[in-house]
Structure 1
Amino acid sequence: MTLRNLDIDQLRAFLTIAETGSFTRAGERLGRTQSTISLQLKRLENHLNRVLLDRNARGVRLTLDGHKLMGTARKLVHLNDKAVAELLEPDIRGVVRLGVPEDFATVHLPEILALFNEAHPLVELEVTCDLTLNLLERFHAGAFDLVLVKREPAAALEGMRVWREPLVWVARDQSAADSVDTVPLVMSPAPCVYRKRATDALDAIGRPWRIAYTSTSLAGSQAAVRAGLGITVLPREMVPEPLATVTGEAGLPVLPDTEIALIEGSAISETGHMLAQHIVETLERTN
């Protein structure tokens, strides 16, 4: 059998297309045009004489051969990046401990951290999801190097604002609050910023409410809402299908925005500060 060498850039393009599900998003992530990404994948497929991705109107998906290549491709790209980093960035290493609210971590953070990890493969990230007040308590006890926390826009608290979130009421369908005198709420346990925001807003207009379902996980809360057990509060960009945003016609009050702030520890390492700057700069481009 003739030996064939795999091209790292082509493997990286293949992995990024598979992970993002889009040639366009893969190009944005790698800083390449869509045509360049497409050409790199075509060259890889021609080199191997295999079709690795099926393309259709709904996006792309891995073929059987694509699935076979994924694991090895990840290892090869990681080893390449690690070797380069050990030679060119020997001091950018170590463990960085990050605390973050679960909903923000679920939607906004994975790609941000993936980009940082790709750029600095010698850095080990330890990410913990929890409620904001719990994150703050543990941060001040030294458990984290930096945290992302929810706060009121007018609050004079520590940290730098990196994201502003419009909050909305979310239910199984638009009519969920029409025929109820007492609003059934699906919430995280106290202390929770969104829980307090919801109950304070309802109290302000004199609308009765009750906690119908309490869950410590975002997935658990959304499952309860899908089952019709109550109404919850989410950032507008994080409302998943098939859940619906409930408009003001249902008699629910408008919810003011909340913010996400980033706080760095006083003894944070240079590597930790680099992660903080990366988060800030990436969110500035998307918010």
Structure 2
Amino acid sequence: MKLIHPQLLLTYIAVCETGSFTRAAERIHNSQSTISQQINRLESILGSTLLIRTSQKVALTEYGELVLRYAHRIIDLNNSMVDSFNAKNEQAIIKIGVPDDLAVDVTKAIMKFQQNYNILFEFTSGLSNDLYQSYLAGQYDVILVKQPIMGNAYAYRREPLLWLDSASSPTFHQSTIPLVLFPTGALYRDHILSSMDELGYSTKINYCSSNLAAIMTASSVGFGVTLLPEKCKTADHVVIEELQSLAPAHDFYLALYINDVHNMILSKIANELVALFQLQNNRTFHLI
């Protein structure tokens, strides 16, 4: 097999485009003698005369015109391949937002993508409403959020919620029931307050935090009643069966949003999270 070094083709293109060995040497920063040697080498490999040398200008033979077309195609393919790999080697930035209780699981799930691709993950955990509004504003590529409606999610599932109290220092049967809440605007807060009002309970807010771990701890040690995802129940909690029956929180969803389903890496991450959290694909999904 005869292999032609790309430098021979680059030299040949330079000679053809400039019409001169001298100008070709200036273009590719080489000596005129080297240019001549490389053209001779190319003609020897191909076994054909490619150029007609005259005192005025270099002219192409019929074979020379054919080789010029091939030379351009080969160099273009080479450049395309290099550009493609350079693009893959550039570090992609993927912004992900999830609620606090899912942060650990999601972090573990995306680790394989950091190993296989050159990615910088900008990871945020926080309140679902805040994450969703930021996603709509274009600040995240992927989010997992809790919400009372399915919306335009890529995938979703119902999110089981439990009314919880302290097992060692229960507060539910106090005349004024203390509450442990997330801040105003947080997802579960409105359901807690409206349910208590509708059931006629007297309540007071004893503890408020945007931190899930703090809410879990406060409710488990006796600060008051709260409503949390099923997985947040600890051995120090007790489920308030009366509220589970009278004020069930069935209409909450864990929803996955992705801003570009045509992005290969984002789609793979989304599908990984669908499998991890056993989500159901939303057939009505469309890009916002």
The bucket for the TM-score relative to the shorter chain is 0.5 to 0.7
Q: Would you say the 8 A contact 1:167–1:257 is kept in 2?
A: no
Q: How far, CA to CA, are the matches of 2:245 and 2:169 in structure 1?
A: 11
Q: Would you say the 8 A contact 1:150–1:261 is kept in 2?
A: yes
Residue 145 of structure 2 aligns with which residue?
Answer: 149
Q: Deviations over 1:173-196 (max 9, x none)?
A: 177244312221111102111111
Residue 113 of structure 1 aligns with which residue?
Answer: 110
Residue 167 of structure 1 aligns with which residue?
Answer: 161
Residue 221 of structure 1 aligns with which residue?
Answer: 215
Q: How far, CA to CA, are the matches of 1:255 and 1:213 in structure 2?
A: 21
Alignment partner of 2:241 out of 221, 229, 247 = 247
Residue 196 of structure 1 aligns with which residue?
Answer: 190
Q: Deviations over 1:28-72 (max 9, x none)?
A: xxxxxxxxxxxxxxxxxxxxxxxxxxxxxxxxxxxxxxxxxxxxx
| Structure 2 CA distance for partners of 1:249 and 1:281, relative to 1, 3 Å | closer
Residue 92 of structure 2 aligns with which residue?
Answer: 94
Q: Would you say the 8 A contact 2:177–2:225 is kept in 1?
A: yes
| Structure 2 CA distance for partners of 1:219 and 1:99, relative to 1, 3 Å | same
Q: Would you say the 8 A contact 1:161–1:259 is kept in 2?
A: no
Give the share of equivalent positions with the same residue, in percent: 25
SS of 2:231's partner is helix
| Structure 2 CA distance for partners of 1:156 and 1:224, relative to 1, 3 Å | closer
TM alignment of 1:1-287, pairs within 5 A: 90=88, 94-106=92-104, 108-118=105-115, 120-152=116-148, 155=149, 157-173=151-167, 176-248=170-242, 253-266=247-260, 269-284=263-278
Farther-moved stretch of structure 1 (246-255 vs 229-238): 246-255
Q: CA deviation at 1:156?
A: 5.4
What letter matches 1:225 in structure 2?
A: S
Q: CA deviation at 1:135?
A: 0.8
Q: CA deviation at 1:115?
A: 4.2
Structure 1 portions without partners, runs of 5+: 1-86
Q: How far, CA to CA, are the matches of 2:254 and 2:279 in structure 1?
A: 15
What letter matches 2:103 in structure 1?
A: A
Q: CA deviation at 1:92?
A: 9.4
> Please, what is the CA RMSD of the aligned residues?
3.1
Misfit runs of 4+, over 4 Å: 89-93, 249-252
Q: CA deviation at 1:282?
A: 2.7
| Structure 2 CA distance for partners of 1:257 and 1:164, relative to 1, 3 Å | same
Q: How far, CA to CA, are the matches of 1:146 and 1:178 in structure 2?
A: 38
| Structure 2 CA distance for partners of 1:178 and 1:219, relative to 1, 3 Å | closer
Q: CA deviation at 1:93?
A: 5.5
Structure 2 portions without partners, runs of 5+: 1-84, 281-288
Q: What is the aligned residue count?
A: 196
Q: Would you say the 8 A contact 2:158–2:250 is kept in 1?
A: no
Q: CA deviation at 1:96?
A: 0.9
Q: Deviations over 1:76-95 (max 9, x none)?
A: xxxxxxxxxxx9x9479511
What letter matches 1:283 in structure 2?
A: F
What letter matches 2:110 in structure 1?
A: L
Structure of higher CA gyration radius: 2
What letter matches 1:151 in structure 2?
A: Q
Q: How far, CA to CA, are the matches of 1:264 and 1:126 in structure 2?
A: 15
